[in-house]
Amino acid sequence: MKTVQLLNYALDSWTPGGGQLAEIASAIDGSPVATTSSGGLDFGGMLKHAREVGGPALRKLTFHERARMLKALGQAIMARKEELYELNYLTGATRKDGWIDIEGGAGTLFSFSSKGRRELPDAHVLMDGALEPLSKNGTFVGQHIYTSLQGAAVHINAFNFPVWGMLEKLAPTLLAGVPAIVKPASATAYLTEAAFRVMIESGVLPTGAVQLIVGGVGDLFDHLTGQDVVSFTGSASTALKLRTHPVVMRESVRFIAEQDSLNASVLGPDAAPGTPEFDLFVREVAIEMTVKAGQKCTAIRRAMAPAQYLDAVQEALADRLASTKVGDPRAEDTRMGALVSTAQREDVRQKIAELEAAGARIVAGDPAAEPALAGGAFLSPVLLRADDPWATQAVHDVEPFGPVSTIMPYRDMDDAIALANRGKGSLALSLFTLSPDAAQEFVRGAAAYHGRMLVIDRTNHKESTGHGSPLPVLVHGGPGRAGGGEEMGGIRGVKHYMQRTAIQSSPTMIAAITGQYVPGGPKHVIDVHPFRLKMSELNIGDTWETPSRTVSVQDIEHFAEFTGDKFYAHMDEEAAKASPIFEGRVAHGYLILSFAAGLFVDPDPGPVLANTGLENLRFLTPLYPGDSLRVELTVRSKSIKSEETGQVRWAVEVYNQKDELVATYDLLTENVP
């Protein structure tokens, strides 16, 4: 393969770095793959470009437009994935490892795209929580909102997932409407650059939305402001250096870190040898040691078992690891490829030596062995054992970032919890148990130290996504030693790139600011039934007022007979009167809903296709026989899902003859756009 110089993408053009070029070697045989440099880039200018060109262009788009952009980016990656798989092998990764990185990366874009269209409004402002009443007459209210930060996101990524690592940060950032500057780790920057190129060539992104630095970041940090976000994945030492940069501290730059983590997996006290949970535990530890050659931030570094089962765990794990074929990642029968570089292998060997010096002993594998191709960064899996994990602090501190794990005994549940927490904060923990009591005790004792926890047993393992897989819909990150940051987690992750602001004003102003109807906000009464209008013809605040109907005792009794709901409050005048809530028999809440629908529904086929649910239902005032009810149906918000369908959220307000609110809820309908 020809050595190429990787290019930076700055100010919307591909730019070679000047000065000294760093060489990147293949993990398989040490041959040169690419050279790289970011020398001569105007880092301050790149930030300015992101803020002044990329940000405004992204902020013009609604959440849904940005979500559709993410989907198109994912499709572009998938269409050219084979080019990326070819480069993936050079990082030492097998095709299966590459699948996590490349297709897992595209999958993350798809997931955020779909969440964005389902959970965010087709608007620019995201409301956070409900309106807070702040005054007696309701003229002065509070509403929290999120808006896009107006700076740039600086993404500094680790070497181990060159594609996914970039995309899992870009997805929430772009959905939030914030431009990004991506800096991949040098060791695998050629794969990131290729995936980045696919995104640029797709033509989907607005100008200035993304830029790429292949090499050092120069004086970039000197130009950061309080509207920027740094999102970092890598070692604790680099994280510390960057988060204490004087400009980061002075400007209160948001800093999200995901760093070293001594993740644990725990065999439950009930999971004796011979149980499915025992076998699942052994399998999971072996998988986590060998997938991506153990170079995963979530990999299991500490495997804990009840003391009496530790020998059996050791034997079963050693057996499994012995059959792991280490070799050329391009070969079909290879189970584990190479580490990213010979330097990384040296680092792992040194960390193993530190663990040994602290008292752990190797019980399977040989760190000195160099399987497979000459010049490559191959290493066989190495299993250590620490018989006294309380006296061997290093097993909770030193992270060999490779195919290495340490088994250790625990005495009882309290001991297991304390040992797990001794990692001082981890990204992921798995517990293998069939006992709900054990699960409850363990999670309550250890959740504060862990970002994600899996409880695995014979009933869920087949569908389990595994200990080591961060998922776009779940939080990825962990407290303390793991960096204290959070990424992804669905829409939670988007909010890291947005500012939450408390707005205090009148309902009319809140409606104008958010572009959504809020209770007490302006309504426009319309005279065409809204079920006859397409979404494009409906406006926020459009209101349909129904005539009223009276509810009789016969109606209540008929409903009770018909549905079988003969609760005392509807059927027994004396008992209802005796209750502290009612003055006598009342209409069923469900009867009120049914009559409300009967009043506001327009029956013929038309642009409203289906009722898909009710949310936030509250019954506020009892409705007595002889009372009447009427409905105001108001368009609260709209979101178009595709060319064929969209969702309208209607505010439904049911009033009695005294104009008191009887019930309120949101009605969701599937509509023709």
User: In the complex, what is the shortest distance from the CB of residue 4 to ligand NDP, in angstroms, rounded to a whole number?
Assistant: 17
Q: In the set 71, 183, 467, 523, which binds ligand NDP (CB under 6 A)?
A: 183
SS3 content of the chain, % helix, strand, coil (to 5): 40, 25, 35
Options 10-18, 74-82, 253-261, 627-635: segment touching ligand NDP (CB under 6 A): 253-261
Based on the residue annotation, tell me whether 258 is a catalytic residue of this protein: yes
Q: In the set 26, 91, 111, 233, which binds ligand NDP (CB under 6 A)?
A: 233
Residue 185 interacting with ligand NDP (CB under 6 A): yes
The contact pattern for ligand NDP, residues 381-410, with x = CB under 6 A and - = no contact, is ------------------x-x---------
Give residues 442-501 in contact with ligand NDP (rule: CB under 6 A): none
> Cα dist. 392→33, 293, 414 in Å?
41, 25, 18
Biggest alpha carbon–alpha carbon distance for the chain? 92
Q: In the set 6, 10, 125, 156, which binds ligand NDP (CB under 6 A)?
A: 156
Options 153-161, 304-312, 384-392, 412-420: segment touching ligand NDP (CB under 6 A): 153-161
Q: In the set 74, 98, 104, 234, which binds ligand NDP (CB under 6 A)?
A: 234
> What's the rounded Cα separation, in Å, for the pair 606 and 418?
62
Q: In the set 260, 277, 284, 457, which binds ligand NDP (CB under 6 A)?
A: 260
Nearer to ligand NDP, 221 or 309 (CB): 221
User: In the complex, what is the shortest distance from the CB of residue 245 to ligand NDP, in angstroms, rounded to a whole number?
Assistant: 9
Q: In the set 112, 146, 159, 449, which binds ligand NDP (CB under 6 A)?
A: 159
Q: How far is CA 115 from the centre of its chain?
A: 10
494: nearest Cα among 137, 154, 200, 176: 176
Count CB-CB contacts under 10 A for residue 499: 14
> Cα dist. 594→561, 566, 590, 617, 662 in Å?
15, 16, 6, 13, 13
Options 234-242, 379-387, 518-526, 530-538: segment touching ligand NDP (CB under 6 A): 234-242
Give residues 188-217 in contact with ligand NDP (rule: CB under 6 A): 217
> What's the rounded Cα separation, in Å, for the pair 221 and 255?
12
User: In the complex, what is the shortest distance from the CB of residue 261 to ligand NDP, in angstroms, rounded to a whole number?
Assistant: 6
101: nearest Cα among 113, 91, 115, 112: 91
User: In the complex, what is the shortest distance from the CB of residue 327 to ligand NDP, in angstroms, rounded to a whole number?
Assistant: 23
> What's the rounded Cα separation, in Å, for the pair 445 and 438?
11
User: In the complex, what is the shortest distance from the CB of residue 589 to ligand NDP, in angstroms, rounded to a whole number?
Assistant: 50
> What's the rounded Cα separation, in Å, for the pair 310 and 287?
18
Which of the following is catalytic: 103, 193, 297, 632?
297
Given a contact cutoff of 8 angstroms between Cβ atoms, the answer to whether 298 and 467 are in contact is: yes
Residue 433 interacting with ligand NDP (CB under 6 A): no
Which of the following is catalytic: 258, 288, 399, 487?
258
Give residues 288-307 in contact with ligand NDP (rule: CB under 6 A): 297
Q: In the set 238, 435, 621, 645, which binds ligand NDP (CB under 6 A)?
A: 238
Based on the residue annotation, tell me whether 315 is a catalytic residue of this protein: no
DSSP single-letter state for residue 21: P
Nearer to ligand NDP, 8 or 639 (CB): 8
Q: How far is CA 474 from the centre of its chain?
A: 4
User: In the complex, what is the shortest distance from the CB of residue 295 to ligand NDP, in angstroms, rounded to a whole number?
Assistant: 7
> What's the rounded Cα separation, in Å, for the pair 400 and 380?
13
The contact pattern for ligand NDP, residues 101-140, with x = CB under 6 A and - = no contact, is ----------------------------------------
> What's the rounded Cα separation, in Å, for the pair 335 and 394?
29
Count CB-CB contacts under 10 A for residue 281: 30
Residue 636 interacting with ligand NDP (CB under 6 A): no
Count CB-CB contacts under 10 A for residue 659: 7
> What's the rounded Cα separation, in Å, for the pair 213 and 7?
8
Give residues 536-555 in contact with ligand NDP (rule: CB under 6 A): none
> Cα dist. 112→66, 203, 488, 626 in Å?
10, 20, 9, 51
User: In the complex, what is the shortest distance from the CB of residue 185 to ligand NDP, in angstroms, rounded to a whole number?
Assistant: 4
Q: In the set 60, 241, 325, 532, which binds ligand NDP (CB under 6 A)?
A: 241
Q: In the set 35, 62, 113, 261, which binds ligand NDP (CB under 6 A)?
A: 261
646-656 and 661-671 beta bridge pairing: antiparallel
Given a contact cutoff of 8 angstroms between Cβ atoms, the answer to whether 348 and 400 are in contact is: yes
User: In the complex, what is the shortest distance from the CB of residue 360 to ligand NDP, in angstroms, rounded to a whole number?
Assistant: 17
540: nearest Cα among 566, 562, 521: 521
User: In the complex, what is the shortest distance from the CB of residue 5 to ligand NDP, in angstroms, rounded to a whole number?
Assistant: 15
> What's the rounded Cα separation, in Å, for the pair 457 and 464?
10
Q: In the set 108, 111, 186, 543, which binds ligand NDP (CB under 6 A)?
A: 186
Nearer to ligand NDP, 114 or 235 (CB): 235
Phi/psi class of residue 87: alpha, beta or left (left: φ > 0; alpha: ψ in -120 to 50)? alpha
User: In the complex, what is the shortest distance from the CB of residue 605 to ligand NDP, in angstroms, rounded to a whole number?
Assistant: 54
Options 168-176, 201-209, 227-235, 353-361: segment touching ligand NDP (CB under 6 A): 227-235
Beta strands in 141-239 (DSSP E): 141-148, 153-156, 180-183, 210-212, 229-233
Q: 479 burial class (0-12, 13-18, 19+ CB within 10 angstroms)?
A: middle
Count the site residues for ligand NDP by CB under 6 A: 24
User: In the complex, what is the shortest distance from the CB of residue 399 to ligand NDP, in angstroms, rounded to a whole number?
Assistant: 5
Q: In the set 8, 108, 113, 160, which binds ligand NDP (CB under 6 A)?
A: 160
628-640 and 608-619 beta bridge pairing: unpaired
The contact pattern for ligand NDP, residues 334-373, with x = CB under 6 A and - = no contact, is -------------x--------------------------
User: In the complex, what is the shortest distance from the CB of residue 341 to ligand NDP, in angstroms, rounded to a whole number?
Assistant: 9
Count CB-CB contacts under 10 A for residue 273: 16
Given a contact cutoff of 8 angstroms between Cβ atoms, the answer to whether 662 and 652 are in contact is: no
User: What 3-state class would DSSP assign to 222?
Assistant: helix
Q: Which residues are catalytic?
A: 258, 297
Residues that bind ligand NDP (CB under 6 A): 156-160, 183, 185-187, 217, 233-235, 238, 241-242, 258-261, 297, 347, 399, 401
